[in-house]
Amino acid sequence: MVEVEENLLKMILEKESWEEIIYFIVSKEKLDPWNVDLIKLTDSFIRFIKEAKELDFRIPAKVVFVATLLLRLKSEYLFEGEKEEEIEKEEIFKVDFEIGKLALPLKRFPKRQVTLEELIKALRKALEVKEKKEIRRRMYDRRGFELQFEEEDISLRLERLLKEIEELFKKSNTKKIAFKELVEEWKREKIVEKFIPLLHLDQDKKVRTEQKELFDEIWISKI
């Protein structure tokens, strides 16, 4: 999605319909609704939001939340190949919000395809769970309970990761550093913890990332 007409963008955002944003992207980018390209869809969704912000449009909270979920899906998808053999053939598209992650076993290499309908249903389920949690939180607040949230401000995570990347560049004195250098322990939760803010930094053009082949090393360079 290189350019979005201002009136169309405004209309979609005013209706607060994240589904219409996804449908628009699928149509505009000619994505296959029977086999959704999660990477392309996520990148286009983020660009849509950035264009809206540049036009000073208010971004609905639901749209921002869906963008976060898509980034999680993208990160899970990119690293899914590492545990390919552990995925059961009959395992279906699912959402696991008890651990705050989206699990997406795509049978490609070989993995099953994910349709647009399945993706939309999963994201709707995520929003339902989030809304129920918010209702419970408000109920607890009214009763005088203080809830502790472990979710850290994304801006602080971005700032910390960028500083870490800059320090690695100084130490290595090279033009590129490998993503694995940022991950202390090569476990899924540790990988995602670094990878999601790295995607944000790349989208914000604070750094540049490149990966020649899927599951190859991800290289980070300065802009």
pLDDT tens string 70-125:
888 777 767 654 444 343 333 323 333 332 344 333 333 234 577 888 888 888 88
Greater confidence (152 vs 37) lies with 37
Report CA 185 to chain centroid distance, whole Å: 21
Considering the four listed CATH numbers 1.10.10.580, 3.10.620.30, 3.20.10.10, 2.40.30.30, the one that applies to the domain covering 154-222 is 1.10.10.580
- Long-range (24+ apart) CB contacts under 8 A made by 147-152 are 151/100
Indicate if the pLDDT at residue 40 is higher than 80. yes
Q: Terminal CA-to-CA distance of the chain, rounded, Å?
A: 22
Confidence grade of residue 169 (pLDDT, cut at 50, 70, 90): very high
Q: Which 8-state DSSP code applies to residue 155?
A: H
- CATH 1.10.10.580 boundaries in the chain: 154-222
Cis peptide before 105 (omega within 30 of 0): no
- Ranking 3-7, 21-25, 42-46, 90-94 by mean pLDDT, the lowest is 90-94
Confidence grade of residue 137 (pLDDT, cut at 50, 70, 90): low
Helix orientation angle between 38-54 and 6-14, rounded to the nearest 10 degrees = 100
Portion of the chain with pLDDT greater than 90, in percent: 10
Q: What is the pLDDT of residue 56?
A: 66
Question: Does the predicted model carry a pTM greater than 0.75?
Answer: no
Q: Which amino acid is at 207?
A: V
Confidence grade of residue 148 (pLDDT, cut at 50, 70, 90): very low
Portion of the chain with pLDDT greater than 70, in percent: 63
Q: Which residues pair with 96 in a beta bridge?
A: 101
The residue among 164, 198, 172, 175 whose CA lies nearest residue 79 is 198
